[in-house]
Structure 1
Amino acid sequence: MLNFLKSIFTWWNGATIGARFHIGRRGVYVGQDELGNRYFEAKDASDSYDGRKRRWVIYRGYADASKVSPDWHGWLHYTFAEPPTVEPFAIKAWEKAHLPNLTGTIHAYRPQGALARGGERQKATGDYEAWVPK
Structure 2
Amino acid sequence: RESDLVVAGGVSIDTPERRGYKYMQGGMESADGRCYAFDSRANGTVFSRGVGAVLLKRVKDAVKDGDHIYAVIKGGAINNDGSLKAGFTAPGIEGQVEVAKQAISNADIDVENIRFVEAHGTG
Q: TM-score, normalised by structure 2?
A: 0.24
Q: Looking at CA atoms only, which structure, 1 or 2, has the larger radius of gyration?
A: 1
Which structure ranks higher in relative contact order (CA pairs < 8 Å, sequence separation ≥ 6)?
2
